[in-house]
A and B are shown apart, each in its own frame.
Chain A
Amino acid sequence: MTYALEISALAKTYKGGFQALKGIDLTVKQGDFFALLGPNGAGKSTSIGVITSLVNKTAGQVKIFGYDIDTDLEKAKSYIGLVPQEFNFSQFEPLVNILVNQAGYYGVSKTVALQRAEKYLKQLELWDKRDEPARALSGGMKRRLMIARALMHEPKMLILDEPTAGVDIELRRSMWDFLRELNEQGITIILTTHYLEEAEMLCRNIAIIDGGEIVEDTSMKKLLAQLDVETFVFDLKPNLSLAVLTEFSAKSHAIAYRVVDDHTLEVDLNKSQNLNQVFEQLSAANIDVISMRNKSNRLEALFVSLINKKSNITQAKSESAVVGAN
C-alpha cells in the first residue's frame, strides 16, 4: 500500500547543534485526517518543514505518495498543499493575484486558476475582498486566504500548521466544516494544532511528538481509550446547603465526589464506573442536576500525561547518567 506520507529515521540538527528531530518514523494513510501534536519546540514545524522542503533534513527518508523527496522532489511537491503557521504571502498583492500566481507555480493555466480562485474565495467567504491587497485582511481572513492558496493546485494532501490559531470560535467551526468536506472528498489532511479539542473532533489518527521524538502514534479512539479516569462537573439546583452536600460526599460511595461549592460537585469516574450510577445516587439523595460537563478536554488530559511521562523518563535518564559519571 502506498502511504500519503512515509517518514523513516528522519533527523534534523540545526547549525547551532540543536537536535530538532531525533530519527522519527511516521506513516499517514491516504485519505486520513491525521493530527500531529506536541508542545512548543517539539519538532512539529521542523517535520512539516522537511516534508515540504522548506527545511533541509540531516538524515532519513521522506516519501510523499511513494515519491522520495531526495529523488523525485518535484513530483512529491506537486501532491502537497501547505497552510503554514505564519502568514507568508505578499502583503501588497491583491488576493486574486496571490492565488493565480500560486497556481501558476504548479503549472495551472491562468484560465483554470481564475475559476478555482473564484470557487475557493467564495467557499471561504473572501470573494468580496478579491481585489484588495492582502494586508487589508483581518487575521482570520488571512488564515482562510492561505487555505485557498494551498488548494489552488488541488493537492492530494493538505498540511495545516496550526490553521486556527487566533481565529474566533465561530470561524474556527466553519473552518472545521470546510476541512471535513475536503477530507470527505478524499484529500489526506495532516493537522498540527494547539487546540486539542480540534484534533479530537476532526482527526482519526494521531501522533504526539515531544523533544524531537514520537511518543505516541495511534488512532484517536485507541488513544482516548487509554484514559483511566475522567472528571465530570455537575451543576446542581441551588436548593441545598453546603453541609448537605458535604454529608452526601462523605457517605461511603463507590464513587468519589468532591464538593466545590453549594451548587457544584465534581466526580472522578474510572473505566469500571458509569454515569448511570452517579445519577442514581444523586437522585436518591434528592440532588437535582441542572447540567454536566467534562472538567477538561479528554485529549488534553492524555496529552499532558504523555508529555509528563516522557519528561520524567528523560529526567531519570539524565540523573542516572550523572550518578554514573560520579
Chain B
Amino acid sequence: MNNSIALKSILTKEIQRFTRIWVQTLVPPAITISLYFVIFGSLIGSRIGEMGGFDYMSFIVPGLIMMSVITNSYSNVASSFFSAKWQRNVEEMLVAPVPNWVIVAGYVGGGMCRGILVGLIVTIVSLFFVDIQLHNIWVIIATVSLTSATFALGGLINAIFAGSFDDISIIPTFLLTPLTYLGGVFYSISLLPEFWQGVSQINPIVYMVNAFRYGFLGISDVSLVTAFAVIGFFIVTLFTIAMVLISKGIGLRS
C-alpha cells in the first residue's frame, strides 16, 4: 500500500476544499487584518508610541499574522473533519487501508496549508500599512510551520469529540480567542505586573507570538529555545492524543 498517495489524496482534498470556498476562507482574514491595521495601527497606535524599540504598527504585525495563522489552521481542520463526520464521508477513509498517522498528517497538512496561505495573504496586506523587517527568515518559517501544525492538531481533536457544529465553535470562542488576545499580540508581556507576567507564561501562544516576532524584529519576551521546546511539547502531546483517539475510533466508530 502506497501511503504517500493516500496522504496526497487527503491533502489535495483538503486544499481543494478551502480554495473552493475562498470567499469564506481566504478573504475574511485579509479584511479583518486591514481593520486591525487601520484601528490599532494608524488611529490608536500613533498615540501609543514605541514598543520594544519599534513603532507600534511594526510591533503588532507579527502577532497579527500569527493570530490569523492560528485561527485558520484550527478552524480549517475542525470544520473540515467535523463536516466529514457529519456527512459520513470520513467513512471513505475509515474503510480504506489508510494508516491512522496518514489521516492525521493529511488533515493537519491541510490545516497548515490554509494557515500559512492566510499568513502570506495577511503579510502582503500588511505591506500596504507598514515596512516589514526580516531578522531571521528561518525562525519565521519554523515558527509559523510548527504553530500551524499545533493548532491544526488542536482543531482535529476538537472535531473528533464534537457532536454538533456548536461544539467546533466553543473552543475557538472561549479558549483560543482569549489566549490569542492575551498572548502578547498587541503588547509586550514585560509591560504587565509581575504576577500577570507569570500567568502569561502558561499561555503557549505567548511563546509562538514571541518566537515569530523575533524572526521579524529580533526581539522577544521569551527565549527562543524555550519557545521551540514549548511548541514541540504541544505538537508531540496533541499528535499522540489525536492518534489514540483515531485508533480507538472515539467519535468515529460505534
Contacts and interface: CB of A to CB of B under 8 A. Distances in A.
B87 A102 contact: no
B88 A86 contact: yes
B2 A107 contact: yes
Interface residues of B, number: 30
Contacts of A102: 92, 96
Given A105-B6, A108-B5, A84 B91 contact: yes
Nearest to A103: B9
Nearest to B99: A74
Contact of A109 (B5, B13, B16): B5
A75 B97 contact: yes
Interface stretch (A48-56, A123-131, A164-172, A313-321): A48-56
A80 B6 contact: no
The contact size tier of chain A is 35 or more
A53 B95 contact: yes
Contacts of A93: 13, 16
Interface in A50-106: 52-56, 73-75, 77-78, 80, 82, 84, 86-93, 97, 100-106
Contacts of B92: 88-89, 101-102, 105, 149
A178 interface: no
Contacts of A88: 87-89, 91-92
Given A14-B254, A74-B1, A90 B97 contact: no
B135 interface: no
A107 B6 contact: yes
Interface-central residue, A56, A88, A100, by most chain B CB under 10 Å: A88
Given A101-B9, A105-B9, A80 B95 contact: yes
B5 A56 contact: no
Given A54-B253, A84-B91, A90-B87, A77 B5 contact: no
23 contacts: A49-B254, A53-B253, A56-B254, A75-B97, A77-B96, A80-B95, A88-B89, A88-B92, A90-B84, A90-B87, A93-B13, A93-B16, A101-B9, A101-B12, A103-B9, A104-B9, A106-B1, A106-B6, A107-B1, A108-B5, A109-B2, A110-B5, A149-B92
